Structure 1
Amino acid sequence: MSAPNLFADDSILSDDPVDADGNPLEILHDREYRVRAFRLAPDRVLIRGAVRDQKPPGLYLPEDPEPLTIHHMQVDIEVSYPSMEIVAAKVHMETHPNLECTRIEPHYGKLVGLSIARGFTHKVKELFGGPRACTHTTALLQAMAPVAIQCVWSMRASDASKPGGYDSGVPMERSDMWKMNLNTCHVWAEDSEVVAKYAAGGTSEPPEPPEFARERMVKLGISPSDWAQRMGL
């Protein structure tokens, strides 16, 4: 049974481009990633991801009126919190170009025991890069890892939303929160102004909400200064 539609389902791409005469460009390929996280227990999350490649109707077979799926792979990984360790993994290839493709599915059992936090991308390339696995499944894994990290905050928000709350087991000391993001992007580079602020003791004040949360709170008539209290920080 599918979950109710809890998320926006409009296209995240801008309108298709046109040529100099205003005619739509011919579409050759569509690749779609979908990653969704589920709470299994106070200390465990299921990350489910899929990748699908499609060709437009009639491109390969002129008589075919429907889009043609050429790849469709799904990955389930269970992540334990706060260790961020993968404790279960399963790969299923729904649509694939060669009969031999599915032989590599058990190889992804080597994900179990890996940390999905630091060093995960490097380890995935080492174990599953190039001829060692499926290119499309490995690319999907790299798209799934950041979702697991973002669920640290989601677990916290889930706890805070329940009457009385309950402990997810995820450490959320202010002095340690920013360290989870260290060197994950240019904002959190070790030599950035943001990191310098926190490293110098900028965690004594309640954290400010991220920009997306601040904008939504203002829209709802909620003071952004309530962010930390609502998150139990």
Structure 2
Amino acid sequence: MTVKRTPLHTRNINIQGFQRDDGLWEVEGVLEDTKGYPFSLEDRGLIEIGDFLHRMTLTLVFDDSFTIRDVRAEMHNTPYADCSGAEPQYKELIGLQIKKGWMDKAKVALGRTTSCTHLTEMLPPLATAALQTIRGYKLNFEPNYASGSEERQTVRNTCHGFRDGGRAQQLLWPQVNEQESKA
């Protein structure tokens, strides 16, 4: 049975990864919220259907070690006039390394009342995109990258696909699987 639904809220997040000419990498996330009905805000007036309630961009620039070298936060559309005051706080992420547990450090660096909930919510998918940006590129264009033990240890047992004995491990590290089965 189909139930009629009325769209009330849409959130779109688009994340892209880039290789830069200066040897660094970037991931850029754009978050856009719209409503399915018109409404008014004290600081902005009438927001029509499809107009952005939130439209913001967060860009992380990082090196091969996943250390953040620069951050750009831009809040193009927000519900309140002072929301964009949180943009500079994201520079506090510079120097952090994207790795297991990094979000705890990021949240401390950003603070709750000095940052933006929506920008901060983009950090985990930006981190995933950072890993996929570098690893995807290196797996395809650097022949010895996949065979490295550091790469294997980084992804080992992080999901079903990279579990010990799984298909990815068999294809990417067959020599390790043979050594482990002999041990």
State the TM-score bracket (shorter-chain normalisation).
0.7 to 0.9
Query: Which structure: greater strand fraction?
Result: 2
Mapped to 1, the partners of 2:86 and 2:110 lie a distance apart of 10
Report matched runs for 1:18-33 at 5 Å: 20=1, 22-33=2-13
Give per-residue Cα distances to partners, 1:99-140, cap 9 Å, x unaligned.
111111111001111101222222222233533410000001
1:77 aligns with 2:60: yes
Q: 1:204 to 1:183 in 2, by over 3 A?
A: closer
Which residue among 9, 19, 36 is the counterpart of 1:39? 19
Which residue among 170, 183, 204 is the counterpart of 2:175? 204
CA contact (8 A) 2:156 2:164 kept: no
5+ residue gaps, structure 1? 1-19, 207-233
CA contact (8 A) 1:71 1:95 kept: yes
Q: 1:23 to 1:59 in 2, by over 3 A?
A: farther
CA contact (8 A) 2:25 2:63 kept: yes
Q: Percent identity?
A: 23
The number of residue pairs the alignment matches comes to: 168
| Shift, 1:145, TM fit | 0.5
TM-score norm. by structure 1 comes to 0.61
| Shift, 1:186, TM fit | 5.5
TM-score norm. by structure 2 comes to 0.76
Q: Which one has more relative contact order, counting CA pairs under 8 Å at least 6 apart?
A: 2
5+ residue gaps, structure 2? 41-45, 178-183
Corresponding residue of 1:60: 39
Q: 1:114 to 1:67 in 2, by over 3 A?
A: same
